[in-house]
Each structure stands twice: as structure tokens, then as C-alpha cells.
Structure 1
Amino acid sequence: MPDINWQKSSFSGSGNDCVEVRSMKGLVELRESDDGDTIVLTGAAAFTGLLHAIKAGELDHHA
């Protein structure tokens, strides 16, 4: 898959240890920058829910 339009968090720095995201054909695609061939697809509502949970600290116990 071409490496176009992938975005990563500004908190990730310059290393290859971050999650990248892009929108393609109405879906949200997620991948780890060090394993670009493995892509998780989800819908916008589920992705928004994930972002809200992360920002609220609801997933911190998994770290």
C-alpha cells in the first residue's frame, strides 16, 4: 500500500515507534510505523470513541 497521507502524532517524535492514521474510502486506517504492512480498519465513530477514551485516560491501565 502506498505511504501517502499517513499522519502521526506530533508527540511521536522522529522515531519509528508510533501509530499512524489516515482516512481512505470512508474508513479510518491505523498502523504502527515499524510494521507498515499490518493495517487495522475501523469506522469514524469507533475511532472517535477510541480517541476520547485515550484522552480521558480510560486506557492508561493497559500501558
Structure 2
Amino acid sequence: MTSSAWQKSSYSGSSNACVEVRTANAAIELRESDESDVIVRTTPHKFADFLQGAKAGEFDHLIADA
């Protein structure tokens, strides 16, 4: 399996509680840094659609008010 290194968002700062992403073969893999044995795999196209929706605010209702 050809995989790139795990990357986390620069918004995470020094926190270890973050989502990490990498490419693995033709897939995109995601995991939580504190639950590194649980990995979600998807296609680059589906991941791009998800990111576009997140940027557009489609999932804002799932976030509790701070």
C-alpha cells in the first residue's frame, strides 16, 4: 500500500485532538489523532464534495454553539 504521511490542519495548532488526512493508493483516509486505529476511507471526488459542503456551511447545524 502506497501512503503519504498523515497531515493535520494548521488550525489544530499544538493540539493532539484533531482530524488527520492522507492519501493511500487511490483513496483518501481520515482519522482522529487520538483514535488512530479507526480509519475512514473515501474517494478523492467524495472528499472534495464533502469539503465543498463544509465550506458552504451545510453541516453548521451539527456544531454546538460555543
Q: TM-score, normalised by structure 2?
A: 0.86
Separation (CA, whole Å) in 2 of partners of 1:59 and 1:23: 24
Paired residues, what number?
60
Residue identity over aligned pairs, in percent, reads 53
2:23 match: 23
2:61 match: 61
Structure with the higher fraction of residues in strand conformation: 1
User: Structure 1 residue runs of 4+, over 3 Å off?
Assistant: none
Give the gaps of 5 or more residues in structure 2: none
Separation (CA, whole Å) in 1 of partners of 2:30 and 2:8: 10
- SS of the residue corresponding to residue 37 of structure 1 reads coil
Give the gaps of 5 or more residues in structure 1: none
- Code of the residue aligned with 1:29 in structure 2: it is E
1:14 match: 14
Give a deviation string over 1:7-51, Cα, whole Å, max 9, x none. 111101111111000000110000001100000000001100111
